[in-house]
Structure 1
Amino acid sequence: MSKSSTSDAMFRAPTLEAILWQLSQVFWVGGLWVFHVGLIPALKVSGLAPLLIDDVATQIDRWLIGVAAVGMLVQLTLLARVAGVSAWWRVFSGRVLLVGLAACFGYYTLRYGVSVDQRWQMYCFVVLGISGIVLVAQSVPVRVRRPHR
């Protein structure tokens, strides 16, 4: 242990990668869950027409999926910068990000490419939400720094 408490690992400032990782998580995971757990139930309780609520949910869902895809691409880029591109399938966080990104592409494919029932789109949305929660529970990937002597 050094003489200065500010040089301890516990008191070091987070890296730019760690800050961007958490910020992108806040936007895409927080946006998904706040919208479906907070806003939609509040709209249902407020007494608006059910068709209007469904239309609002449908219109905002595609934007939320887009924000989630951009956030996951940012996180994949940060993971590649910190641990290399091979970390996408080596590290658990990378695999979860790839599953979430596949859910985003699946959602858009089912919505615009193949016209199927909305339940499959909702399945992709649920997979994306669960992968977001699992990703939040993981530690932030950081570059390993060598101690100065």
Structure 2
Amino acid sequence: MSKSNTSDAIFRAPAIEAILWQLSQVFWVGGLWVFHVGLVPALRIIGLAPLLVDDLAAQIDRWLIGVAAVGVLTQLVVLARVAGVSAWWRVFSGQILLVGLAACFGYYLLHYGISVDERWQMFCFVVLGISGLVLVAQSVPVRARKPHL
């Protein structure tokens, strides 16, 4: 039996790495899916002009990809701090983060560098969204704590 209830493992505060991981994941994965699954269809249902909705979606997509890139980079830094840089290609969540980062760079490269059809940009967006959903299903990387005696 412990001296106080606050020293039990149940009541320990989560590590800063876990908090950063989940917070960045909420912003970039949640933002991508809420916007395209919730807001854009709702704008179409209420009867806004289709060209207006498409233009709005195209403008906000660029910002969402930027937020996603910052979130992915934050999660890569957290993963490197917890498990080392080699975890980027050794751990499944690191591999998924690298896929997401490649999708972000691919989107911007296709949009600003190579002018191609919007379907390839949407492909990068879908890859980023699916990698975010797969990443949500993974466990949060945390540093192993030393037991208190």
Instruction: Report the TM range for the smaller structure's normalisation.
Output: over 0.9
Deviation of 1:10 after TM superposition, in Å, equals 3.2
Q: Which runs of 5+ in 1 are unaligned?
A: none
Indicate the RMSD between aligned Cα atoms, in angstroms: 1.2
Question: 2:13 — aligned with what?
Answer: 13
Give distance in 1, aligned partners of 2:137 and 2:64.
21
Question: 1:64 — aligned with what?
Answer: 64
Question: 2:75 — aligned with what?
Answer: 75
Deviation of 1:8 after TM superposition, in Å, equals 3.5
Give distance in 1, aligned partners of 2:12 and 2:116.
51
TM-score w.r.t. length of structure 2? 0.95
Q: Which amino acid counterpart does residue 9 of structure 1 have in structure 2?
A: A
Give distance in 2, aligned partners of 1:7 and 1:22.
24
Superimposed CA distance per residue, residues 124-149 of structure 1 (whole angstroms, 9 cap, x where no aligned partner): 00000000011111111000011122
Give distance in 2, aligned partners of 1:95 and 1:132.
12
Deviation of 1:2 after TM superposition, in Å, equals 4.3
Give distance in 2, aligned partners of 1:124 and 1:11.
41
Q: Which runs of 5+ in 2 are unaligned?
A: none
Q: Which amino acid counterpart does residue 106 of structure 1 have in structure 2?
A: G
Aligned residues: 149
Q: Which amino acid counterpart does residue 51 of structure 1 have in structure 2?
A: L
Superimposed CA distance per residue, residues 52-86 of structure 1 (whole angstroms, 9 cap, x where no aligned partner): 00000000000000000000001100111111111
Question: 1:139 — aligned with what?
Answer: 139
Give distance in 1, aligned partners of 2:19 and 2:68.
17
Identity percentage of aligned residues? 83
Question: 1:52 — aligned with what?
Answer: 52
Superimposed CA distance per residue, residues 84-136 of structure 1 (whole angstroms, 9 cap, x where no aligned partner): 11111111111100000000000001111111111111110000000001111
